[in-house]
Amino acid sequence: MRSFGTLRTPVGTLGVICRGDAITDVGWRLTCPDDAAETADPLLTETLDQLAAYFGGGLRRFDVPVDLGEQSDGTRAVLTYLHESVLYGESITYGELAERSGSGIPARGIGAIMGANPVPIIVPCHRVLASDGLGGYSGGEHGQGLATKRWLLEFEGVLPPPLF
C-alpha cells in the first residue's frame, strides 16, 4: 500500500508518495493516487519532516531511501551520481554531470533526465545548470519553474540573492 502526504513550502505545496520501503515520487502537482492512502506511514512522516527541516534551513542532506522506478542504466547512473555527489550549496553543469556520471549520455540528454526525475529536491536536479546560465526546470508550481530553481539555488547559497 502506498501512502501520500503534502507539505507547504516557500516554493509551493509538495506532494510525496511513499511505497513503505522507499519514496517513489515528490512533486508540486502530485495528488493522492487511487491506490494510496493519506495516512501516517513512518517513512512518509520522516520524509515530510526532512523536507520541512530542509526548507527551514536545518537539513542539508536527505537520508531517506528512494526508488527511481524503471529507468535505463544511463538515467539511473546520472540520477544516482547527482544524488550522491552534488551536495547542498554546490552545482554542476549538464556537461559535467554527463561526464562525471559515466553514463555515456551526452550533455544535451541530461536535461531530459532532470525533467523526468521522480524525486526532485531529494535528488537535487535544481543544482544542475547550463554552462551559460540556469538552464531549465520543470519543478515548481505551474509556470514557476525557473523562479523555483532560482529560489532553491539562492536558498542554498549557490546564487547570490537579487539586489532589488
Q: Considering 78, 97, 125, 129, which one is annotated as catalytic?
A: 125
Nearest to 151 by CA among 52, 8, 9: 9
Catalytic site includes residue 18:
no
CA distances, 30 to each of 15, 16, 68 (Å): 5, 7, 16
Whether 149 contacts 140, CB under 8 Å: yes
The pairing of beta strand 23-27 with beta strand 12-18 = antiparallel
Task: Please give the Cα distance from 93 to 134 (Å, whole number).
Answer: 9
Longest CA–CA span in the chain (Å) reads 48
Whether 148 contacts 140, CB under 8 Å: yes
Count CA atoms closer than 13 A to 139's CA, side-chain side: 30
Which grid cell is 28?
508540486
**Which residues are known catalytic residues?**
125
